[in-house]
Structure 1
Amino acid sequence: MIRKFANPYAKAALALAPSDEEASRLLADLERFVAAMEQVPQIAAMASNPAVPVEKKVAIVEEIGRSLAISNLALRLLRLLTQNYRLVHVGDVAGAVARMVKQRLGIVAAQVTSAVPLDPAQADRLRSVLEGALGKKVELEVTVEPDLLGGFVAQVGSRRYDVSLRGQLRRMAEEMASASA
């Protein structure tokens, strides 16, 4: 879940990234920093430790940023998060930036639940069909739920496409119930 305060930071940073390339670079830089925090637990421990002075935290963040070749914009955002005691939530801010960058680029997320794992060819075909239906670029987020029995359910925004066997059985039961009433 993205925390409410993450959106203003993301929005402000993206306002300073006028081109799509700069916005994508900002996102990539934040994702690299988040990955570094996950790989080196001492970074997260330092970020959350109130005994470490803010100036020292900023210096450490800048050093990590230089070692990761992070853009000046991303580094400015990381500095601001550090100074405002929000660095521990950089993952939330990166998530908000990702959502806003995708929106800017016209990319929509499709949550796909499948009875079995999709192979790459099936995923590509499904993505292509959804892109044709929606007129937008689609990113698939696939989960497996064997209870579907077969087929899949795709949720894109408020639209739901249910071509699962479970959904077909439910619709048949509803039709039979309404026919007998």
Structure 2
Amino acid sequence: MAAQSGPVSGIAERYANALFDLADERKALDEVAEDLRSLKRMLDDSADLRKLVRSPVVKSEDQARAIEAVADRAGLSQLTRNFIGVVAKNRRLFAIEGMIAGYLQILARRRGEITAEVTAAKPLSDAQMAALQDSLRQVVAGKVSVDLTVDPSLLGGLVVKVGSRLFDSSIRTKLQRMQQAIRGA
């Protein structure tokens, strides 16, 4: 992972590797991955939660208590809750999103999967997700893991990033292009 570029910092990388090793040892790779995806969705959906984990002003004890309550309420596994507790105690919650990304990257690499970062205007149904994965599988000719983020500002359509390739079929981008074309005419 050392040569990797992207959202995973050195701190996040070390923690992600440690969590991966623990989860692998305990045969809980999928359980922890699902926990981390849930936590990522919670962070994506809550500005207050993002503020809590990123704030250097909030005491570590308060951060730890708050994130533990979130983890309990979300029903995260004991291993994931213990990990988050250690991260909070060590004042590293600011890097939790990188840790999540790092863990999921390690898992995908282990499985020979390519991760597609997909942004949609609204959550996708199971049928839409399956169709998307089938389409992506054909494009990359291999296993694909989808990391879905919801961004209502897209208005509709999808933005898909696979490796260095970007496919943007969002209505927002189409409107921007039309606006530029009108200005240029």
Equivalent residue, structure 1, for 2:125 = none
Q: Does the aligned pair in 2 maintain the 1:81–1:87 contact within 8 Å?
A: yes
CA drift of 1:87 comes to 0.9
Match of 1:74 among 72, 80, 85: 80
Q: Which runs of 5+ in 1 are unaligned?
A: 112-118, 147-181
Could you list the per-position Cα deviations for residues 58-79 of structure 1 after superposition, in whole angstroms to 9, with x for gaps in the alignment? 1111110010001111112211
Equivalent residue, structure 1, for 2:16 = 10
Q: Distance in 1 between matches of 2:20 and 2:43?
A: 22
Match of 2:105 among 96, 99, 103: 99
Q: What is the one-letter code of the residue matched to 1:83?
A: K
- Classify 1:102/1:41 alpha carbon distance in 2 versus 1 (closer, same or farther; 3 Å): same
Equivalent residue, structure 2, for 1:45 = 51
- Classify 1:121/1:10 alpha carbon distance in 2 versus 1 (closer, same or farther; 3 Å): closer
CA drift of 1:5 comes to 1.5
- Classify 1:52/1:128 alpha carbon distance in 2 versus 1 (closer, same or farther; 3 Å): closer
Q: Secondary structure at the match of 1:108?
A: strand
Q: Does the aligned pair in 1 maintain the 2:52–2:63 contact within 8 Å?
A: yes
Q: What is the one-letter code of the residue matched to 2:61?
A: E
- Following TM superposition, where does structure 1 have runs of at least 4 consecutive aligned residues deviating by more than 4 angstroms? 119-123, 139-142
CA drift of 1:104 comes to 1.7
Q: Does the aligned pair in 2 maintain the 1:27–1:98 contact within 8 Å?
A: yes
Equivalent residue, structure 2, for 1:144 = 167
Q: Does the aligned pair in 2 maintain the 1:7–1:93 contact within 8 Å?
A: yes
Match of 1:124 among 118, 134, 143: 134
- Classify 1:102/1:54 alpha carbon distance in 2 versus 1 (closer, same or farther; 3 Å): same
Could you list the per-position Cα deviations for residues 16-54 of structure 1 after superposition, in whole angstroms to 9, with x for gaps in the alignment? 112796212212212211221232222222223334321
Q: Paired residues, what number? A: 135
Taking only the aligned residue pairs, the percentage that are identical comes to 20
The correspondence of residues 54-93 of structure 1 with structure 2, limited to 5 A, is: 54-93=60-99
Q: Which runs of 5+ in 2 are unaligned?
A: 1-6, 118-127, 147-159, 170-185
Q: Does the aligned pair in 1 maintain the 2:8–2:99 contact within 8 Å?
A: yes
Q: What is the one-letter code of the residue matched to 1:100?
A: I
Equivalent residue, structure 1, for 2:35 = 29
- Classify 1:19/1:127 alpha carbon distance in 2 versus 1 (closer, same or farther; 3 Å): farther
Range with bigger deviation, 96-105 or 40-49:
40-49
Q: Distance in 1 between matches of 2:132 and 2:56?
A: 49
CA drift of 1:127 comes to 2.1
